A and B are shown apart, each in its own frame.
Chain A
C-alpha cells in the first residue's frame, strides 16, 4: 500500500503534501472536490478548489469560510510541497472535480462524487489513468441502474397533463440536482415558468450567472402557493412534509433521487411520484469507470463499499473499502447523496 494518501479520522491525508482531501473536520490545508456540504465544510485555514466550488462555499458559509482560498482550473496542476495535484471534471455538480495526486512515482485519483450520465449543467466526467482509483459507491449495488433521466422527466410531464389541477412539488437537493432537473425539464420542451423554494434561490442564481440556461425561474412566495395548480415547483426534499407545502392545491409529492429506484425507499418517504434521477454513477457506470482508469488498486470511500470492492476483487483488482465516516449522510446532515 502506498503512503501517498492515507485514510485518517479527518479524511484522506497526504503526508508528503501536508494536505487533506474533503476533510470532515477543520484542517490546515484542504483540497475540496465539490460544494456539497459533506465534502466541503467550513473552518479550514487554506482551501484549494475550483472557482465554482469556492464560490458555492462562499454562498453557503459566507465569504470568510477560510483564511485563504486558491482557485484551480480544470486540467491545471498545482504543486503542494513535493506533490502535484491536478483537478479534472467529475460530472457531479457545477465545479465538481476529481483530484489527481502524483509524487513522481504513483498516481492516485480521488473521484469525489461523480456521474457519467449526461448533465447540461456541468462539465462531463473525464476518466484519468491512474495506479489507484478512489471511488465513491453511493449506488454501489447491482440493483442501482439508473434509467435515462429524460424518461423520468417524461413521467413528471405526463402527470402534469393528467392532473392539471394539482401542484407538482419536486423534491430535489439544492445544489446540482435542482438545477439539473430544471435543465432537463427545459430540454423536454417545457417553457412555462418553473417555481423554486427560497432555499434554492442563491445556488440557482449562481448557476444562471455561470451561463447555464434555465429559462423563466420564479421564487414561490406565500401568496403564490394557492395559485400554482398545474405548475412545477422545486423544493428541498424535506419541504414536502413541511408546513410550507400545505397551501398548494392538492400537491403531488415527487422526489428526484437515485434512491427512488427502490420502491420501499420511496414509500417510506410518502413519495407519490418517484423520479429516478441521480447525480451519482450507477452500478454499471461505476464498473465501467473503474475499468477505464486501468487502476491496479481500488479504494472505496463511502456508500455500498463492500459490494463494489467484492466485484473489483472478482476482476483481479486489489480492492479496499475505506468506510470513511461523514460522507453521504443524505439531507439530514447534508445533501450530498442524491
Chain B
C-alpha cells in the first residue's frame, strides 16, 4: 500500500501526460501481482467502499488528538484525509521489533471487504497504525471516494498497454468483462498469455475515427465514392445490448474512450434495456433533443460527468441517440461489411422497433465538393433548418469502408465549420505548469462594455493554447513588460482604451452563465491570432458575444 501511495502522490504532482504514463508504467512493471491489479482497480474507479464515511474518520481522529490542535491543523491543511493522515499518532510503543510488514493494497481491500460495518472503525484504525503518512493519505482518499490524482482510467490503461505493444483500445474492448486484480490482463500485456476471453455480453467496440480534411484535400477524392452526413455537436457514444448466459438482457452506454456512462443516462438505458429493442451495438451521437429540436452542446453538458442524475434534470435535458452505424446485431459482428450495407441494416433495425430516443442520422445528398462546401457554410441549404445550431460540420465516409478501429487513412473525413471569432483584450496572465512554468501562458481576456465611468473591460474567458512557441515567447515578454499588478502566479497587465494587447479568440459557441461576471461563457476558446496591429479600444463589445448565445455561425 505504501508503494502504491507513493505512486499516487508522485503522479498527482506530475504535470506532463507523458511523465504520468512513465510513472504508471514503471509501477505496473515492478509492483507484481496482485498488488498492481488492485492499484489499477483503484485508479480506474473499480473499487468502492460503501461504509467508510468522513464521519467515521472524524470520530477516529477525535479519539486520538486534542480538539483545539485538530481544528488548527484542519484549518491549515484544508483537507480532511490529508489532515488525518498527517496527524495520526504513531501507535503506543511503536509496532515492535517483529512488526509485520505494512499492509499491501490487496490486504487493505480484503480487510475492508471482510469487515462488517460495526467492526470498521477498529479495522481502519489498525490499518492506519501500520501505514506511513503517504499510505494513510492514499487509504483515506481511496475509501472516501476522493481519489482524484490526475490519472484517469484511460491513462492507467494506456500505461498498462505500453508494457507490451497493445493498443489501449484493445484493453477497453475487453475491460467490462474483467475483474480485479486483472491477473489475466497483466499476463496478456506482458506477452505471457493470450488475450483474456471475456464473456461480456455487451462489450465496447473500439471506435473508427475520421481525419480532418481541408477543401484542397478534396480535389483528389471522387464524390461518388462517399456518403455525407452532418457532424453533430454532441458526444460520440456506443449503445450496446446483449444477453448474458442466464438469459438476462445487459445494456450499456459507452463514451468514445470506452468509459461506461450508463448511470448518467437512465432515460437512454430504459429504452435499450427494454425487450423490444433487440440486441445490437449502435455507434452514434448523444444529443439533448427537446420537442424534436436538438439543443446546443451546453444543454448536453448539464448531463455529462455525473454519477447520478435526478428526474428533474432528465426531464429538462432529455437525452437522445442519433445513430450512424451498426457494429453488431443479434450476435453477428457487422464491422467487416461495407458502410453502405451497415447503414441499411441500421435503418432496418431502427424501423423495426422504432425505439424512442433513437433516430437515424440522415445522409446529406450531394453531387460535387462545391455542394459540400456550400452546405458546410450554410447547413440550411441542405435542409438542416433549425437543427443548424447543433451541426458542427460534415462527415464524409467512403461507402465501401469497413469499420476499422482507430484512425485509418483515407476512409472517413470530417470537415468542421469555421469557429466564431472575437477580438478581445488581454487582462491577466498566469504562469503555466510543467514545461511552461516559467512562461505566462494562460490568458484571461475581456471585451468592452459600458461602465459607470465610460467603457470598461469585462473578462469573458481564458485561453492557453492556439499560439506557437515563438508567439508564446512574444506574449510572455509583453506580459512581463506591461505588468501593473501581481497576485501570486497571476499578473495583471495594462488594458485600457489606449494601451492593451488584442487577441483574436476562436471559439465554438457562447452560453449564458451565472458563474461568470460577464454573464456569458465561451466554449473551447483559443488564441487564433495575436493582433499586434489593433488598438485595444477597437476590440469587440459584450453585445457581440451576447448576440451569439445559442447560435452557430452562419458564414
Q: List residues of A whose CB falls within 8 A of some B CB.
A: 141-145, 147, 155, 159, 162-163, 240-246, 250-251, 253, 261-264, 266-268, 270-274, 304, 306-307, 310-311, 314
Contact = CB atoms under 8 A, between A and B. Distances in A.
Contacts of A145: 86, 133
Given A143-B73, A143-B76, A272 B434 contact: yes
A273 B77 contact: no
A163 B488 CA distance: 29
A262 B77 contact: yes
Contacts of B73: 141-143, 307
A253 B87 contact: no
Interface string B112-137: 00000000000000000000110000
A190 to B, nearest CB: 19
A266 B13 contact: yes
B438 A243 contact: yes
Interface in B1-56: 9-10, 12-16, 19, 22-23, 26
B68 interface: yes
Contact of B133 (A147, A159, A306): A147
Contacts, number: 87
A253 B437 contact: yes
B79 interface: yes
A310 B73 CA distance: 13
Contacts of B291: none
Nearest to B9: A263
A201 to B, nearest CB: 21
Given A143-B83, A267-B13, A273-B13, A310 B68 contact: yes
11 contacts: A141-B73, A142-B86, A240-B437, A244-B438, A245-B437, A245-B438, A250-B16, A263-B12, A270-B15, A310-B66, A310-B68
A130 B407 CA distance: 76
A286 to B, nearest CB: 13
Contacts of B435: 250-251
B434 A264 contact: no
Interface of B: 9-10, 12-16, 19, 22-23, 26, 65-66, 68-69, 72-73, 76-79, 82-83, 86-87, 132-133, 431, 433-435, 437-439, 488-489
Contact of B23 (A162, A245, A251): A162
A304 B72 contact: yes
Interface of B is mostly: helix
Given A267-B13, A304-B72, A143 B77 contact: yes
B11 to A, nearest CB: 10
A267 B435 CA distance: 15
A205 B438 CA distance: 28
Nearest to B431: A241
A245 B439 CA distance: 10
A141 B72 contact: yes
Given A162-B23, A267-B13, A272-B14, A241 B438 contact: yes
Nearest to B78: A264
A253 B438 CA distance: 11
Contacts of A240: 437-438
A136 to B, nearest CB: 17
Nearest to A262: B77
B68 to A, nearest CB: 5
Contact of A311 (B15, B19, B69, B76): B69
A268 B488 contact: yes
Contacts of A253: 437
A170 B9 CA distance: 18
Contacts of B431: 241, 270
B443 to A, nearest CB: 17
Contact of A306 (B23, B72, B437, B489): B72
A245 B435 CA distance: 10
Contact of B433 (A142, A246, A270): A270
Given A143-B77, A144-B86, A263-B82, 8 more contacts: A145-B133, A147-B132, A155-B10, A162-B23, A162-B26, A241-B431, A270-B437, A271-B13
Contacts of B23: 162
A160 B434 CA distance: 16
A310 B439 CA distance: 44
B87 A274 contact: no
Contact of A262 (B65, B82, B132): B82
A143 B86 contact: yes
A250 B22 CA distance: 14
A241 B15 CA distance: 14
Contacts of A272: 13-15, 19, 434
Interface centre among B78, B86, B435 (most CB of A within 10 A): B86
A117 B489 CA distance: 33
A145 to B, nearest CB: 7
Contacts of A264: 77-79
A80 to B, nearest CB: 38
Contact of B438 (A142, A246, A263, A314): A246
Contacts of B86: 142-145, 261-262
B74 to A, nearest CB: 9
B82 to A, nearest CB: 6
Contact of B76 (A262, A266, A270): A262
Interface centre among B22, B72, B438 (most CB of A within 10 A): B438
Contacts of B132: 147
Contact of B66 (A144, A242, A271, A311): A311
Contacts of A274: 13
A197 to B, nearest CB: 14
- 5 nearest CB pairs, A to B: A143-B86, A143-B73, A245-B438, A307-B72, A272-B13
B436 to A, nearest CB: 10
Nearest to A284: B90
Contacts of B22: 162-163
B76 to A, nearest CB: 6
A262 B137 CA distance: 11
A46 B23 CA distance: 55
Nearest to A271: B13
A52 to B, nearest CB: 34
B351 to A, nearest CB: 55
A143 B86 CA distance: 5
B250 to A, nearest CB: 41
Contacts of A307: 68-69, 72-73
